[in-house]
Each structure stands twice: as structure tokens, then as C-alpha cells.
Amino acid sequence: MKERHRLAVPRASARVSSARASPIVRASLAILVSAASCARGAPSTPEPLPMPVESPLKARARGLVAMMSDEELVGQVMMIDAEGSASLSEASRAVLETVRPGAVLLFGYNVAAGPASTASLTKSIRSAAGSGGLPPFIAIDHEGGSVYRFKGGLTRLPSAKALGLAGPRAARAAGRAAGSELRALGIAMNLAPVVEALSDDNASFLADRAWSEDPSVSGRLAAGFIEACQDGGTAAVAKHFPGNAATDPHLGLPVIRASLEAVEASLLPPFRIAARAGVSAIMLSHAVVVALDPDLPASLSPRVVSALKDGLGFDGIVMTDDLSMRALSAYGGLGAVGPAALAAGADLVMVSGGRDALAIREALLEALGHGALSRERLRDAASRVVEQKLRFGLDSETDDERAARFDALAGTVAAGTAALKEARESARESARGGPRDRLDP
């Protein structure tokens, strides 16, 4: 039997160890010390730092969240699945009406019947799960290549590896097709792209899902996909922060033993680029990254989440991968890892299975009741989810607008397919000596 690790509510550290601080942190400390030394000769009253101005979108999200009950707050920070194709199963409808989740994840069997059935299903989900005029994000893994859920009716996306070889124009064409076509089906969140660079450590797990072996190239190609996908109306999710190893997290616990310097040089840059590109959400991996936290997987680690939110300045949704994966089996059941992930700083926890969804909901409410999960943390998480819903217009989209998008789907797919084909042909021409469309490291 695997040893179970005790999970505790994280406490903020009051010190930064200079031995473990990153070069960025060490440089900042050196500048502060130098500035303080220079100032001793001529004391002066320091200018007060300006208060950060909260964006109207963020302020509105916080206002909506402030009016939510505990049950509504807990719902907003959950992503669960749904049973059905053209319509919901009665059991799934009951779960959605109870949980009122912030997001609903679709799988291949949900969309196998084609675009019309998928649009009908997403309408049923919005009806069952909508809360206070805020429909859930409906999400799907739409990376391309080996991770492609649809049987037909949409632009067939190549793998990230193939797009990476074709160059940035192809990456953007694929992102635009993905974003506009998914939104026409009522799907407003794409759990893509993978932004991790391919390495010897993760190649057996990621394979064709990675863009490049170079972290900078991988980040820039992924950023092009992200921007175009979001321009098409669908929130993108960069994954899996800060990285993965050879072990498939569905089957076991990945461990990354790279040094802190290697983590900063190879793992973090693609996510920094994605964050600067305005990606809506970043998904945490279930890997233990020894240099950042030797004790906990990323999805349960306050240190790793802090590296993302504070270190990279990411202000969108930080979400987990599926908490039902075996990678977390040594850290307790869903009733333990759900509250622990939120307490560590995640904003949206993913769980598949109706019973599991209800179990996590009860665990979160219980953790809130006895203080293991603070209401302030829960409200902050819910605010991040709601802010992104407002950003992508989920609160204001009308039935007529949805119908118009779906009616235009055939033309949207034709345009997306043509643009992607042209971009890939252009890349082949450049490989034969024509105009170049490649990113250099």
C-alpha cells in the first residue's frame, strides 16, 4: 500500500531563502540592498506606491461573487462531466442542477453524434447548470492530432508537433478554427494547447502533443494558437504547469527531478509567454517538481501555485487536471484532495463522475464550514472563474446569437479548413526555398 501523505492547509512563508531563491529573486534583492545603501547618505521620504486599479471586469466579477451563497461559490470552482449526447441523462441533469458547476467537461462520446447533437447538448447543459444568469463554461480537449474528440463536422486539426513544423501561421490558423467552431457549438473553453516543450523526460507521455523541443519556440507557437482561439470566442487553457515526466498521471505519479536552474530555463518560459499572451486559464499538472516542492504534486502545492500566480504574474484561472487520476491516490481521496487543491491556490478543480462531483461538493462545503478552506480563498477562486465568463460574454450571449453562430458553422468550417491548408502549404513551400515562416530559437 502506498504511503498516504498528510495534507494541511498551507500557510504563507514569512521568509525567502536566498539559497533557494531564483536568479530573478536574488537580483531583485540585490537591487533593493544597493538602493538602500545609496539612500543612507541622503534620507528622503519615499513616494507612496500607487494603489493598483481594479479593472471594471474584475470589479464586476467580485460584485457578483459577493452575492453568492456558499453552495453557489462551491459550484463555481468545480468542473464536472455530463452524460448524454443530444440531451442530458436524467441522472446527469440532477447532478448539474444540484452542483451548478462553473464548468462542464465534454468527452468524445458526448460529441460523437455530430455538430447538431452537440449544440443541442450544450443548450441542455446551460439550462440545467446555469446559476444566476451565469452559464457554465462548457469545455473539451481540442488539441488536434491524437487528442481530437470529434468524428467530423469541424476542421480536422493536426497535432501540435505538425503545426510546429509548419510554423506560426499554421498555429494561428488552427487556433482560429478551433475557437470559432467550438463557440458555434456552445463550447466556450478549449483545454488546449499543451505548452510544455518536448524533452527526453516527457516524450513518451506527450509525443505529438508538444510543439517543439525549444521552450521559447514552444511558448511562442502556443501563444499564437491561444490568441487566435480566444479571438474566435473560446477561452484557451495552457497546460500542464509546470511540466510532466514520463509517467502518465492517469496511471501513476510523475516526478521531475530537474534542478531549479533547469526548471527556470526549460519549464517556466513557455508558460510565461502564454500568460503574457493573455491565456484565460492554466492547468496544473499532477507532477512532483522536486526543485519547487519535493513533497506535493503541483496541483496540491502552494509553492507551485505561487510560482505561477506570483512568480509569473498570472491573473487568470488556475485549474487542476482531473483529481480522479491515480497520480493523486497516495494523497487521500477526493474529499481530501479537492479542498487541498483550492486551499493551495487552484481556482477550478476538475472531477469526472457524478458521484465524485457530489462527494467533492460536500467535502468543499465541509472544509469551508470548519475553516480548512477560507471563504476569502473560495471567493477569490470563484471571482477568477466568473471574470473569465464575463470576458468571453457568457453572461450576455443571447439565444439568437448562439443560433446565428451555429447557422454559420458550415461556412466557418470551410474558411478554417482553407486557411489551415493554405498555411501548411505555405510552410512546405518555404521548406523548398520559398518565403520563410518559421520561429528560430
Query: Which string of DSSP letters, residue by residue, matches 76-111?
Result: HTEEEE--BSSSB-HHHHHHHHHH--SEEEE-HHHH
Over 60: is that where the pLDDT of 126 sits?
A: yes
CA distance 29 to 116: 58
| Least confident piece of the model among 229-233, 347-351, 373-377, 424-428 | 424-428
Confidence category of residue 353, pLDDT binned at 50, 70, 90? confident
pTM (whole model) above 0.75 = yes
- In this structure, which amino acid lies at residue 239? K
Q: Domain 79-425 in CATH: superfamily?
A: Glycoside hydrolase, family 3, N-terminal domain (3.20.20.300)
- Taking alpha carbons only, the member of 105, 300, 293, 289 closest to residue 196 is 289
pLDDT at residue 78, as a whole number: 98
Please, are residues 296 and 324 in contact by the beta-carbon 8 Å criterion? no
Write the CA distances from 272 to 248, 279, 350, 428, integer angstroms: 24, 10, 23, 30
CA within 13 Å, CB half, 305: 27
Is the backbone of residue 135 left (phi > 0), alpha (psi -120 to 50) or beta? beta
pLDDT above 90: percentage of residues in the chain: 78
Per-residue model confidence as pLDDT tens digits over 2-13? 444 445 433 333
- Taking alpha carbons only, the member of 313, 369, 377 closest to residue 343 is 377
Q: Which residues participate in catalysis according to the annotation?
A: 250, 321
How is residue 159 written as a grid cell? 497535432
Per-residue model confidence as pLDDT tens digits over 222-271? 999 999 999 999 999 999 999 988 888 988 999 999 999 999 999 999 99
Q: Which residues contact 245 (CB under 8 A, 6 or more apart)?
A: 201, 202, 205, 254, 255, 256, 287
Mean pLDDT of the chain: 88
Domain ranges (residues) in the chain: 79-425
| Least confident piece of the model among 13-17, 235-239, 403-407 | 13-17
